[in-house]
Structure 1
């Protein structure tokens, strides 16, 4: 009877070792959970960025003012009846 008990205890310990430290065990499960959490955070960030881009596209398609503003800021658009002034800040070294 003692031999069977010792064999069963050894078998349970061997199975517990595989569960906790073996391949596809708890360690791998926790690593996969961490990877999943990181990927969900990356996906949330990308989804937010995509929503901003989509809103920008809708604004450019529907509003002429948005197109003009972007042309002014990114391409230096100036209307024919306007005068363009460029203000260059003076550095402290040039003042003396």
Structure 2
């Protein structure tokens, strides 16, 4: 009976050591991995939203001239031939 008790205590000690040892996949390491996973999921979600916005912009540029003209005006400062440019100085 004492031998069985010693074996059980040794097994419990062994499993406790493995549970808390940072080298062998401890609880702290598991929590750290869960945190990394949460951060990666957030990053993936942000990238998905960015990709969807870019895809919508590409589709808009393919289909319509209005978006193309708006982009040319805002980013390049272009105007059409029949328009007059006014610059307001403050």
Q: Give the TM-score band, short-chain normalised.
A: 0.7 to 0.9
Correspondence for 2:35? 34
Higher Cα Rg: structure 1 or 2? 1
Question: Is 1:10 equivalent to 2:10 in the alignment?
Answer: yes
Tell me, in whole angstroms, the C-alpha distance in 2 between the residues paired with 1:88 and 1:42: 43
- The TM-score, its normalising length taken from structure 2, stands at 0.84
- Written as runs of structure 1 = structure 2, the 5 A alignment for 1:36-55 is 36-55=37-56
Which segments of 5 or more consecutive residues in structure 1 lack a partner in the other structure?
90-96
Correspondence for 1:60? 61
- The TM-score, its normalising length taken from structure 1, stands at 0.80
Tell me, in whole angstroms, the C-alpha distance in 1 between the residues paired with 2:39 and 2:77: 41
Q: Over aligned residue pairs, what C-alpha RMSD do you find?
A: 1.7
**Of 53-62 and 75-84, the range deviating more from structure 2:** 75-84
Is the contact made by 1:21 and 1:27 (CA closer than 8 Å) also made in structure 2?
A: no
Tell me, in whole angstroms, the C-alpha distance in 2 between the residues paired with 1:64 and 1:9: 78
Which segments of 5 or more consecutive residues in structure 2 lack a partner in the other structure?
none
